[in-house]
Structure formats: structure tokens, C-alpha cells
Structure 1
């Protein structure tokens, strides 16, 4: 269901470019669907599975319902209220996990989900996507950062040395996460402050490049370790680049969609590619993926097509923009096809 929702969102993006005939709701609200519903469902499912409570699944299911509603002639504010409720339930689920473990990573994830809830509620009462964008950025930014912290003792080490209680260890990350969310909230209330949101984007991008051991050590290995390292390095570079573009857009003409796609397709997209060989088999309840160098094809295509797309947007070149848009879509289709193909080959080999 999550994969179907993601494909629906991508089709809406192609419809927005005028490349395919997509339902008007999917095309018009493509950005909201991808930023809120699809990412909300994907990231909340992972957290719901760890708490194993029936109500925790209500969050991701409401996000999926939001995508389904987008294909129907329903008033948009009624749809976004469903997403807001899904975000609220998912935030409550993550809060329970944080209060139980007090882990540094979960503190960032909690602030990320809280930012999504605030953004959804603000949009429900009439705020525009543009004004809520920094809060929507904060959601995957802090969730991905929190997951990297959870999985890496190297990143945690600076605040573990003086840890006295579980909450003491989480306090520095929680403070940094709240500061990031404060930048985002300031951007909502005062438009010029939106450009300053580039500061936490740039800082976290450079900090993760320096601190994430997957990037520092993983590239020395082979197989999935190197594949993950390459994708996470590209993700962090796109994150830092988005921060720079956000700061420069105060004085230079940098189209809004360049920053949006740099963040969601560059940063979030490469982070998804890095984790997809593990996450997709889990979501599909199928066997673990066998490594193949063919996995690098979507990796190379994503950054190449995104550069073309952004170049087309900046230079107002529709041909380059269209080629880049198709390349972005094909990237994720190729990823799913590559994974399913190699699962099929592995399955035949085991018989």
C-alpha cells in the first residue's frame, strides 16, 4: 500500500509537468501528498511496528487514506484533516517510544513528527504549502537524522561520555532538534526567516558527512556497505546544497521547486535508496535482497536527472526540465524493478 501511494504521488508529479494524464487532485496537490502522506506513511509504519499496538497503525493508515482521497473529488481541507489526524497519532506513538527509552535518536524523530503535525494543522486551517514548507522539511530531516543517530554509536559518543541519566544523553539532540524546528516555525510566521532555514540544513548536512560512520567507513567495504555509504554521502551533499540554495535565494533568483526537489529528491530520495534494499523486502514480507551492482543504476540516474531538472528550472529550459522529471520517475521504478528482479533470481537459485 505504501508503494502504491508513492507511485500515485510520482504519477501526480508527472501530471503536474503535463507529461501524463493524472487525476487533477493528484497533480494539483502532488507536493502535499509526497511531503505529508507518502513520507508520513512510510516513516510512521516503521515506528508503529516497534510499539506493536493496534492503535499505532491508525497513523500510517490515515496517511494512506489521505492519498486515496486525493484521487476523489473531495474538498482539500477535509483531506488534509485526515493527514493531520494521522500525524497526531504517529507523534503520540513516537512520544511513547521516547518516554520509554529516552534515546537521543528518538528525541530528534519526535520533534520531526511534531513538526509534521503542526504543519498539517496549519494547512488544515488555511496556511499555504509555501509558508508551511520549512516545517514539512523538518519532518524527514529530523527523522532521518534521528535514525542515523540511533544506528551509530560514533555519532552518539560526544554526549554519551558525560551521560548521567537516559534523558541527559538525549538532551543535546533534543535541544538541537528544537532549535531546527524553531527556525522552521520562524519561517512560517516571518517570510524572510524562511531563507535562514538554510542554516540548519547546511549545518546538519556537513555534520552528518563528518560524523556518520556509514559515510566515513562504509565506502571502504564492498556490497551493501559501500552502496549505502555512496547514497548517504549523496544525500548529505544534497542536504547541504539545499541549505546553501536556501540562503542564496534571499538575493538570487533560485526557483522554489529547485530547493524543494533538491531536498526531497536529493536528500530524502538518496536516503531512501540507501535503505530500500532492507526496507522494501520488509514492507513486502519477502526474502532479504541479494546484492547487485545494478543497484547503482538508480543511484546514478537520480542525481543526474535531478541536476538536469534543476538546471531546466533555473534556465527556464522546458526540454531539460521534462527529461529530468522523467528521469526522477524512472529512478524509483528502476529501483523497485531491480529489487524484485534480483529477489526472483535469488528465489530460483534457492530452489
Structure 2
């Protein structure tokens, strides 16, 4: 029974992984590497990474946690959305299924909130609003750039809410919890300004992102765990680096507002690579263990993709500042390699641990 339950989880996880790999290939093509797999999906790079991969992985994690049969409709919707993109169906079809998946996620949060009310779940529910609106904007707008700030709301609210949830023993009922909740609600509020006036909205959202990054880094236990050893230190280093990148992304929005070209590239990737992907690296051992019931053990080799991610992103941002295309391509290739190396490390370490457990 346990093997069967884990097997179908692996199918959904594999679909999120497929979306990630195709999205990475699409991203490589946007860098000018047209011979890469996924080049034909260059226009869908953002949706594949945010809706297909991030949305699919988070939705799967929450379904496993809530233990309710109807909740599996969410991952199913995300899978259909990814397959719709890969099949070349109209954008509106994929967007409809992604939005439906986010709505199911909202119902999951409502179920969890009824079981045990907390501000952490409320914050994550705010992220659902961002996801649904982002899918709608992507369907109706000229491209993914229109939906990107709402995708940032989804990613930031979800991750900050999960950090609050993991720290509930020390944070629940404190001023810090109330402060973070108000900041995320403020980010959601100013996202409405973005939809009315993008030029003003980008700057106000940028200010909110800086405040969220600073406030979370100040109270997160990561600032203490970074002086420990092993997995706690590894995770803490990833998280603190992520907060720094989030603050930089907010700064770019605050200074430049609605930007294109090199500035847009820098702001998007500081948030979604520097913050989001670094947080995924940090929490992967927890997520993998909970989803597939197989432990991802800590090993020093995990620092290799972390170093590649942040080093490559730093090069990419500096290249954006200098408007140097070749350096930008090099930095982009390094960050893509970082994600692939991390996947390879995770699969290898998990496989070795599983074989050790059965021997």
C-alpha cells in the first residue's frame, strides 16, 4: 500500500521535474543557445518554471500534508497545464488548468486552517491569490512579463509562510509573526497598484520585497544555524543568501520600476533564481523526505550546486549591469548547470540512502 501511494507521487514529481528541465532548456535558448533541448518553448520559459515546476512541487507537497483525496485534483491540474504547453495548445488552456490548480491549493490551505488556525497558513493563502491572478494575466496579456510581479507575490508569500510555519514553536503569537504577516499582506495590496499602474506598482512592490527580506532574515533561525554544522548550516547558508537576493531584486524594482532588457533580466532572476531556487535547495531534504518517503541525506557535495547557483547569478547580474551579452550567457549557463547538478546530487544521494536502508 505504501509503495503504491509513493509511486503515484513520483509521477507528479516527475512531471514537475519535466517542466523544470524543459523550462531550463527554454531559458538556455533565450540566452542565445538555440541548439538546446526545449528551444521551441522559449516563450514558455516563465510559465514552465513558475506554474509547472514551482506550482506543481508546492501543490504536491501540500497534498501529501493534508491527506485528503479530493486535494489530488490540484496536482492533476498542474500536470494537465504542463502537458498543454508541451502539446502546443493555446495559452488560455494551460492558464485555466494552472489557475484551477492554485484554487485547489487555496482549498487545501482552508482545510489546514480549519484544523489549526495560524497566520502562517493565512500568508500562504495570499500566495494562492497571486498564483491565480498571475495565470489569468498570462492568459490575457501579451506575454509572461505582465504576470511576473504576481508570480513573485505567489512565490514570496508561499516561501515566507512556510518559513513561519516551520518556526511556529518560536514564532507563533509573537510580534515578529504579526509583522511578517502584515508585510506580506502589504505586498499583496500593492500588487493591486501594479495592475492599475505598473510603473508605480513595481516600485511599491520593490519596497515591500526589501522590507520582507530584511524582516525575515532578522527573525529567521537561519542566522544562528549558519554557525552550526552539517545540514542545519547548509540550509541556513542557502536561506540567508536567498534573503539577500530577494532584497536586491526589490531594490532593482524600487530604483528602475517597470524595466526591460538587462534590468528586467537582473530583477527577475535575483528573485526567482537567487531567492526561490536557493530556498528550494535549502528545503529539498525536507520536501523530498515528506513527498516520496525517501530521505535525502546531507552531504558536502550539495555545496557544489549552491556555489554554482550564486556564483553564476552574481556573474549574470554584473553582466546585466555592464550590458555584456557574453558574460550574461556564461552566468546563465552556470546557473542552469547548478540546477542540473543539484538534481543529479539529489537523485544520487537519495538512491544511495534507499539502497543502504534495504541492505
1:228–1:72: structure 2 CA closer, same or farther, 3 Å change rule? Answer: same
- What does residue 20 of structure 2 align with? 6
| TM-score normalised by L of structure 1 | 0.89
State the alpha-carbon separation in 2 of the partners of residues 298 and 55 from structure 1. 36
- What does residue 138 of structure 1 align with? 153
Q: Is the 8 A contact 1:107 1:173 kept in 2?
A: no
1:9–1:210: structure 2 CA closer, same or farther, 3 Å change rule? Answer: same
Moved over 6 A (4+): none
Match of 2:230 among 223, 248, 265: 223
State the alpha-carbon separation in 2 of the partners of residues 311 and 281 from structure 1. 36
Match of 1:35 among 50, 62, 73: 50
1:347–1:44: structure 2 CA closer, same or farther, 3 Å change rule? Answer: closer
- What does residue 326 of structure 2 align with? 319
Match of 1:197 among 189, 202, 205: 205
Q: Is the 8 A contact 1:60 1:90 kept in 2?
A: no
For residues 1-351 of structure 1, the aligned pairs below 5 Å read 1=14, 2-19=16-33, 20-23=35-38, 26-126=41-141, 128-152=143-167, 153-159=169-175, 174-193=181-200, 194-213=202-221, 215-250=222-257, 255-286=263-294, 288-347=295-354, 349=356, 351=359
| TM-score normalised by L of structure 2 | 0.87
**Deviation larger for 258-267 or 331-340:** 331-340
Q: CA deviation at 1:284?
A: 4.1
1:278–1:341: structure 2 CA closer, same or farther, 3 Å change rule? Answer: same
Q: What is the total number of aligned residue pairs between the two structures?
A: 340
- Structure 2: gaps of 5 or more residues: 1-13
1:52–1:207: structure 2 CA closer, same or farther, 3 Å change rule? Answer: same
Q: What root-mean-square deviation, in Å, do the aligned CA atoms of Structure 1 and Structure 2 show?
A: 2.3
Q: Is the 8 A contact 1:154 1:211 kept in 2?
A: no
Q: Is the 8 A contact 1:309 1:324 kept in 2?
A: yes
State the alpha-carbon separation in 2 of the partners of residues 292 and 321 from structure 1. 30
Q: CA deviation at 1:347?
A: 4.8
State the alpha-carbon separation in 2 of the partners of residues 74 and 128 from structure 1. 15
Report Cα offsets for 1:180-229 as digits up to 9, x if no partner. Answer: 1011121121012212211111011111111001x222112111010011
Instruction: Please state whether the residue corresponding to 1:220 is helix, strand or coil.
Output: coil
Q: Is the 8 A contact 2:214 2:243 kept in 1?
A: yes
State the alpha-carbon separation in 1 of the partners of residues 127 and 297 from structure 2. 32
Instruction: Please state whether the residue corresponding to 1:29 is helix, strand or coil.
Output: helix
Q: CA deviation at 1:89?
A: 1.7
1:225–1:130: structure 2 CA closer, same or farther, 3 Å change rule? Answer: same
**Deviation larger for 264-273 or 324-333:** 324-333
State the alpha-carbon separation in 1 of the partners of residues 311 and 300 from structure 2. 18
- Structure 1: gaps of 5 or more residues: 161-169
